[in-house]
């Protein structure tokens, strides 16, 4: 038999080593039978208390002198909570006992039986990891290879957000910075999962605005053509998925070709992507060359399969906590960074350079998580191999693949601007907070059972204080990234329970994907860094009613003339005007030849509306543009609505999901949260505030607090006066009487309690003999 008495892990935490003898010493100090009777557990205790008894509430008053202003029920509840938080007298650490231990521990027994030598195990692990790395590299190498397209060359990898035309006026006047408009093209290769690349700030398309969806304008049916044609500001890869050229799951390659000006871009939905329509013209359009033979596949799923199999086998056949944790951390980091959610890069070499710069500091964080944040405590001595693989390793993969597994949550960035702007974000955040609170309550119970609750409450009080201080720093905004969430919540999983295995693996996965994809972004960021291409909050131009001249019998051109009120020159330098989302006019107020009006002409045969938007200029940068005013095909002017361009209601598919989430959240509040809250009040209030009716609680509590405070104060004053009176009386008594009282002997009684049992029996016999004579 193997003994484990010296194993510290098997000893209870905070165990008492010295026995405490709580006995009652007899009053007379004799060892008689009567003394033994009085020492019986059921016998009443003899307490020597010469002083007057003090009520419990008065004792509390003297103990809580600094907190007399706090109502007694609250003090009573606080004292109970503090006592409860310290946990049981003999706390015990949680240890997972494997379900079906013969099955779960069999891989360990097999390793012990076949490879008993540590040296042989080391070389086996070395060879195993080498095979893993080589297999991963070979599969990744196949990913970089694409067949050459005849007449076009080898496809070049592009990002999911690449487009020919930039937003706003970034293409310059008349789009001169985004030329050519026609007669050009190139072979391209798209990665998988480009469908999930969305615009995070409003993008104008005429009088419509698109957000939280792929930027795709047009498709099959544009200008009456069956061939898919897209507006120049569409994302190339998203449009290729919409056209069926590449697959969202596997990526692919093709050839894109510019076709110049086009009009009447049709809206449609194909291959999971909805395009938006545009009923006017645009100077740059593109299409995909048909019948192109190209072979290029994104091998992320092959790489995922390789890493999953190797990681699963390693997890089953080792119970070494450091070997398991650091190997899995490294494997998932490179799988996420190289395949599942890589950062933007044009070549594999640049991608590898990007990741190696993040990997070294990430490994330091991994050591901190393992040694200082509870991972060691969770994994050390764990022999439930199957449960560890499913819960911890499976949770880590779920967190590492959050761009797939958690993409249904309508929260893009955790900041105030996006939460207010994104539909359904606040409802989703509320549900997440409710789930986190429920999990936190269960973890609090586990920590209390282990006797470590106070320590972790202090830690989280410090973290919450740091967050609150960060919120008050001027000119900076708190940004909670993936890796920050993981670092904040990981200490709360430092115990060996099945829920903690799942939570810890999920948080480690979130940390990995946050660093591999985005890097160590700062926790505090300026508003400019968070803004991107969002609205700036600048002043909008004041446009007077335009003058319209329609073509008559001799004229072939119609025109519309705009004038504006100039702002103070110290604020803005000029004005920019977009026509159909292309900058057609720009002037600066301080120029000698500055124009004071804008005249736009069009052919009278053009049977299309045109959209006008206006913005002030600061140097070469524009401020916020107005909503679109419409010069209709009939020559009428529809004035723009007040305010800058913002998100407009549009029937996107994800809005249905948002409405469904809102409905479920309201049902949760009505059916579960409210009854649970009522039940909690019914159970908690009588305990904290005894003998108090729950109706009209606020007024009743206030009145009762005042009455109890006054009564306690009066009782304390009376008790103090009574103690003073007793002390005065005792001081007046003669000293001799006190000495006599102390020296006075107990009276001799034949049958009294001072006799032993034998003496009582002898006395009884003598009395009976006297009666007989």
Q: Which residue has the higher pLDDT, 47 or 355?
A: 355
516 and 375 inside one domain: yes
Integer Cα distance of 570 and 589 in angstroms? 11
506 and 401 inside one domain: yes
Task: Give the mean model confidence (pLDDT) for residues 61-80.
Answer: 71
Which domain-ending residue is among 710, 731, 756? Answer: 710
Q: Return the minimum-mean-pLDDT range out of 3-17, 159-173, 251-265, 642-656.
A: 3-17
pLDDT attached to residue 733: 58
pLDDT attached to residue 346: 81
pLDDT attached to residue 553: 66
pLDDT attached to residue 734: 55
Task: Give the mean model confidence (pLDDT) for residues 82-87.
Answer: 85
Is residue 265 a contact partner of residue 222, using CB atoms and an 8 Å limit? Answer: yes
Say what the pTM is. Answer: 0.73
pLDDT attached to residue 389: 96
373 and 513 inside one domain: yes
Percent of the chain with pLDDT over 70: 75
522 and 604 inside one domain: no
By residue range, what is the domain housing residue 701? 653-710
**Tens of pLDDT, residues 114-126:** 999 999 999 999 9
Q: Which residue has the higher pLDDT, 646 or 190?
A: 190
Task: Give the mean model confidence (pLDDT) for residues 745-755.
Answer: 44
620 and 666 inside one domain: no
Residue 298 counted as domain residue: no
- Measured over the CA atoms of residue 651, residue 653, residue 659 and residue 662, the dihedral's sign is negative
Peptide bond before residue 180 is cis, with ω within 30 degrees of 0? yes
Tally of structural domains, the chain: 4
Residue 657 counted as domain residue: yes
Q: How far is CA 214 from CA 157, 185, 194, 539, 751, in A?
A: 19, 22, 9, 29, 104
Residues 6+ away with beta carbon under 8 Å from 436: none
Residue 733 counted as domain residue: no
* pLDDT confidence bin for 14, thresholds 50/70/90: very low
Which CATH number do you get for residue 603? 2.60.40.10
pLDDT attached to residue 23: 37
* pLDDT confidence bin for 282, thresholds 50/70/90: very high
525 and 402 inside one domain: yes
Residue 238 has pLDDT above 50, yes or no: yes
Task: Give the mean model confidence (pLDDT) for residues 338-364.
Answer: 92
SS3 603: strand
Residue 772 counted as domain residue: no
Task: Give the mean model confidence (pLDDT) for residues 740-758.
Answer: 45
Interior CA angle at 769 toward 766 and 772, to 5°? 155
Task: Give the mean model confidence (pLDDT) for residues 584-610.
Answer: 88
Which domain-ending residue is among 229, 258, 288? Answer: 288
498 and 395 inside one domain: yes
Task: Give the mean model confidence (pLDDT) for residues 183-212.
Answer: 89
Which residue, 150, 244, 237, is CA-closest to 196? 237
Q: Return the minimum-mean-pLDDT range out of 193-202, 217-226, 616-625.
A: 217-226
678 and 604 inside one domain: no
383 and 488 inside one domain: yes
Residue 348 counted as domain residue: no
**Tens of pLDDT, residues 285-322:** 999 999 888 888 788 899 999 999 999 999 999 999 99
Integer Cα distance of 443 and 436 in angstroms? 10
**Tens of pLDDT, residues 458-475:** 999 999 999 999 999 988
Task: Give the mean model confidence (pLDDT) for residues 165-171.
Answer: 88
pLDDT attached to residue 709: 67
**Tens of pLDDT, residues 610-620:** 999 999 988 88
Integer Cα distance of 246 and 155 in angstroms? 13
Task: Give the mean model confidence (pLDDT) for residues 764-770.
Answer: 48
Residue 671 has pLDDT above 90, yes or no: no
**Tens of pLDDT, residues 392-412:** 999 999 999 999 999 888 888
Residue 593 has pLDDT above 50, yes or no: yes
Average pLDDT, the chain: 80
pLDDT attached to residue 139: 93
Which domain-ending residue is among 664, 682, 710? Answer: 710
Facing residues of 546 across strands?
none
Residue 79 counted as domain residue: no
Q: How far is CA 528 from CA 419, 475, 536, in A?
A: 17, 10, 9
pLDDT attached to residue 610: 95
Which CATH number do you get for residue 202? 2.170.130.20
> Of the spans 32-36, 544-548, 553-557, 670-674, which averages the highest pLDDT?
544-548
pLDDT attached to residue 13: 36
619 and 673 inside one domain: no
Task: Give the mean model confidence (pLDDT) for residues 746-755.
Answer: 44
462 and 584 inside one domain: no
Residue 34 has pLDDT above 50, yes or no: no
Facing residues of 203 across strands?
210
pLDDT attached to residue 15: 40
Is residue 445 a contact partner of residue 439, using CB atoms and an 8 Å limit? Answer: no
* pLDDT confidence bin for 699, thresholds 50/70/90: low
pLDDT attached to residue 220: 87
Residue 755 has pLDDT above 80, yes or no: no
pLDDT attached to residue 6: 41
* pLDDT confidence bin for 22, thresholds 50/70/90: very low
Integer Cα distance of 356 and 193 in angstroms? 24
* pLDDT confidence bin for 418, thresholds 50/70/90: confident
pLDDT attached to residue 281: 94
SS3 520: coil
Task: Give the mean model confidence (pLDDT) for residues 48-56.
Answer: 53
Task: Give the mean model confidence (pLDDT) for residues 23-51.
Answer: 46
pLDDT attached to residue 556: 81
* pLDDT confidence bin for 504, thresholds 50/70/90: very high
pLDDT attached to residue 655: 44
Residue 43 counted as domain residue: no
Residue 218 has pLDDT above 90, yes or no: yes
**Tens of pLDDT, residues 511-548:** 999 999 999 999 998 887 777 666 777 788 889 999 99
Residue 316 counted as domain residue: no
Is residue 436 a contact partner of residue 502, using CB atoms and an 8 Å limit? Answer: no
pLDDT attached to residue 335: 96
564 and 436 inside one domain: no
């Amino acid at each position: 038999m193997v003994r484990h008495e010296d194993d510290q892990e098997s000893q209870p935490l905070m165990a008492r080593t010295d026995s405490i003898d709580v006995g009652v010493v007899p009053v007379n100090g004799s060892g008689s039978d009567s003394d033994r009777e009085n020492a019986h557990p059921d016998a009443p205790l003899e307490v020597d208390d010469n002083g007057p008894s003090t009520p419990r509430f008065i004792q509390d008053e003297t103990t809580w002198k600094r907190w007399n202003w706090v109502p007694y029920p609250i003090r009573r509840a606080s004292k109970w909570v503090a006592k409860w938080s310290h946990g049981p007298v003999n706390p015990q650490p949680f240890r997972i006992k494997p379900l079906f231990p013969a099955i779960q521990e069999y891989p360990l027994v097999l390793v012990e039986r076949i490879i008993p030598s540590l040296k042989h195990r080391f070389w086996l692990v070395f060879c195993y990891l080498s095979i893993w790395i080589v297999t991963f590299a070979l599969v990744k190498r196949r990913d970089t290879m694409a067949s050459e397209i005849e007449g076009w060359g080898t496809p070049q990898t592009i990002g999911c957000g690449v487009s020919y035309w930039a937003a706003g006026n970034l293409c310059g006047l008349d789009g001169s910075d985004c030329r050519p408009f026609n007669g050009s093209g190139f072979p391209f290769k798209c990665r998988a999962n480009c469908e999930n690349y969305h615009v995070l700030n409003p993008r104008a398309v005429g009088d419509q605005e698109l957000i939280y969806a792929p930027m795709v304008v047009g498709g099959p049916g544009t200008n009456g053509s069956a061939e898919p044609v897209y507006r120049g500001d569409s994302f190339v890869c998203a449009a290729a998925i919409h056209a069926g050229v590449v697959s969202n799951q596997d990526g692919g390659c093709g050839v894109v070709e510019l076709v110049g000006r086009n009009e009447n871009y049709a809206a449609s939905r194909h291959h999971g992507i909805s395009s938006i329509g545009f009923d006017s013209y645009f100077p740059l359009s593109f299409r995909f060359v048909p019948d192109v033979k190209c072979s290029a596949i994104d091998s992320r799923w092959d790489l995922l399969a390789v890493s999953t199999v190797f990681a699963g086998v390693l997890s089953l056949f080792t119970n070494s906590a450091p070997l398991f944790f650091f190997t899995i951390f490294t494997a998932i980091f490179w799988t996420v960074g190289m395949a599942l959610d890589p950062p933007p890069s044009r070549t594999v070499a640049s991608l590898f350079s990007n990741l190696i710069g993040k990997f070294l500091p990430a490994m330091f964080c991994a050591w901190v998580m393992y040694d200082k944040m509870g991972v060691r405590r969770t994994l050390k001595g764990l022999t439930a191999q199957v449960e560890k693989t499913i819960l911890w390793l499976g949770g880590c993969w779920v967190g590492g693949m959050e761009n797939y597994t958690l993409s249904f949550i309508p929260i893009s960035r955790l900041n105030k601007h996006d939460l207010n702007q994104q539909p359904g974000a606040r409802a989703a955040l509320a549900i997440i907070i409710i789930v986190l609170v429920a999990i936190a309550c269960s973890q609090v119970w586990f920590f209390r059972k282990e006797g470590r609750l106070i320590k972790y409450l202090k830690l989280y009080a410090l973290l919450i204080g740091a967050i609150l201080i960060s919120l008050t720093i001027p000119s900076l905004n708190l940004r909670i990234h993936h890796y920050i969430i993981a670092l904040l919540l990981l200490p709360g999983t430092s115990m060996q329970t099945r829920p903690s295995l799942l939570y810890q693996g999920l948080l480690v996965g979130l940390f990995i994907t946050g660093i591999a994809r985005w890097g160590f972004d700062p926790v505090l960021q300026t508003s400019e860094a968070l803004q991107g291409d969002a609205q700036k909050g600048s002043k909008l131009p004041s446009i007077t009613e335009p003058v319209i001249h329609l073509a008559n019998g001799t004229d072939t051109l119609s025109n519309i003339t705009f004038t504006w009120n100039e702002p103070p020159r110290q604020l803005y330098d000029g004005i920019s005007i977009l026509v159909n989302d292309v900058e057609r006019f720009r002037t600066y107020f301080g120029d000698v030849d500055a124009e004071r009006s804008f005249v736009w002409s069009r052919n009278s045969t053009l049977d299309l509306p045109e959209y006008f938007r206006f913005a002030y200029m600061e140097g070469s940068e524009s401020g916020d543009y107005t909503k679109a005013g419409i010069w209709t095909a009939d020559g009428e002017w529809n004035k723009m609505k007040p305010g800058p361009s913002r998100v407009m209601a549009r029937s996107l598919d994800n809005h249905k999901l948002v409405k469904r989430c809102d409905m479920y959240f309201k049902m949760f509040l009505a059916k579960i949260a409210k009854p649970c809250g009522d039940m909690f009040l019914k159970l908690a209030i009588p305990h904290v505030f005894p003998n108090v009716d729950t109706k009209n609680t606020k007024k009743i509590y206030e009145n009762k607090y005042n009455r109890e405070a006054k009564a306690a104060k009066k009782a304390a004053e009376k008790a103090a006066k009574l103690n003073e009176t007793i002390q005065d009386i005792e001081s007046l008594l003669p000293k001799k009487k006190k000495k006599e009282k102390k020296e006075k002997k107990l009276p001799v009684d034949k049958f009294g309690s001072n006799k032993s049992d034998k003496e009582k029996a002898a006395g009884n016999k003598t009395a009976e003999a006297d009666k007989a004579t």
